[in-house]
Amino acid sequence: MTTQILEAQKGIVTDEMYQVARMEKVDVEYIRDKVAQGRVVILKNNKRTNSTPVAVGEGLKVKINANIGTSNEKSSIDEELDKTRVIEQAGADVLMDLSTGNYVDETRQAIIAATKLPIGTVPMYQAGKEALDEFKDIAKLSKNKLFSDIEKQCNDGVDFITVHCGVTKFVIEQLEKQKRLTGIVSRGGSMLACWIKKTGLENPLYQYYDELLDLVKKYDVTLSLGDGLRPGCTADAGDRAQVAETIVLGELVKRARKAGVQAMVEGPGHVSLDKIPSMIKTIKELTDYAPLYVLGPLACDCAPGYDHITSAIGGTLAAYHGADFLCYVTPAEHISLPNSAQVREGIITAKIAAHCADLARGNKEAIEKNFLVSKARVELDWKGQIDNCLDKSAFDGVDVAKEGKPCTMCGSYCSMKLFKQHFDK
């Protein structure tokens, strides 16, 4: 039994390391070294044969995740498969299936079969849903049921799983000692916190963490250590409960690395701009620079219908200061389950945020893409603009002028055309 991190620590370069090095346009030894340190993870279940590995972490391009999945209000495998196609076409790096509707297993298995993208899940969603459906009581969920669902999803081929191991009895005590406007907004975190409150027992994902590590190690599934106490509004950002959980996650990162398991950390949800830089840097330091996956962060709370924009604003700043992985937010956030068009809009918005951060961080590929679009604009080269822009479909249905001609906004009064006529001789 081996994993990417164990191979890297032995000085061995795996096929997956070669693949991601080519995609990232970096030296393969850089990838091996960072994987060995735990500062880069490679998302690839060793049972999956139809997937493309993706690397997340220090010094690499900022990655984008897209969430899909059924709910108990709306459940259709065909709709989720359509969203999967949209996710691939729009250019997300990874997707997560967060299904809690009918046929959870069948939905997950259909998505895995339909895409080469790495896939993540939150096993607690299935375990908690089924306990509530059967017993109407989250406290009836057993440790064996939860771990059985984790094993089942890993065996299906899931590449990474979000596990809220940091929602401990101590952390919940800290939450109860303070006033919080939005309580717990993480679905998995809320389920576990309520389970702890009602049973008086420790979180099984924390109590039996070594067993969890042994389980995922067989599949080389990456742990995404979830932020169950992430702030659900800007007023709660950086409070005692969030910091207490982050400290626990830092300890769990070190235990995972020692056990030969890849681990990344999930970060905040709603954070005002002034707090983002210091918060990202603090999380990175507390978790020994594990890859950081941020859920936004949303820079304000009062823009329903436009939270893909508030997320892009916060996500750009977070990525510039060290976040490695952005979870997209759609215009439907806080309103409804997103449709395929909203999924696409969320991905494109997140790609813009990631590109802005990559550009500011000095990523050579981002700099080149930016330059090529600028050059094409100067030359009135429409094909060059389309080939190098972040969303080629932006030109669909637009009355784009013929090659070498200005756009319809300025026409013969085009500033670039006039400048070239009088200065470029």
Instruction: Say what the pLDDT of residue 424 is.
Output: 73
CA distance 335 to 249: 30
Instruction: Say what the pLDDT of residue 311 is.
Output: 98
| Residue 238, burial from CB neighbour count under 10 angstroms (0-12, 13-18, 19+) | middle
3-class SS at 263?
strand
Instruction: Say what the pLDDT of residue 407 is.
Output: 84
On the question of a cis peptide bond just before residue 297, with omega within 30 degrees of 0, the verdict is yes
Which H or E run includes 17? helix 15-24
Instruction: Say what the pLDDT of residue 400 is.
Output: 64
CA distance 128 to 192: 9
Tokens 């999803």 belong to residue: 153
Instruction: Say what the pLDDT of residue 397 is.
Output: 79
Which H or E run includes 294? strand 292-294
Beta bridge partners of 42: 55
Cβ-contact 255, 213 below 8 angstroms? yes
Chunked in runs of 10, what are the mean pLDDT values of the chain (425 residues)? 95 98 98 98 96 97 98 92 98 98 96 98 98 96 98 98 98 94 96 98 98 98 97 96 98 98 97 98 98 97 98 98 98 96 98 98 96 93 92 82 78 86 79
The whole-model pTM stands at 0.96
Cβ-contact 212, 147 below 8 angstroms? yes
Instruction: Say what the pLDDT of residue 373 is.
Output: 96
Exposure b/e, 355-371, CB count within 10 A at least 16 = b:
bbbbbebebeebeebee
Cβ-contact 222, 264 below 8 angstroms? yes
CA distance 4 to 146: 26
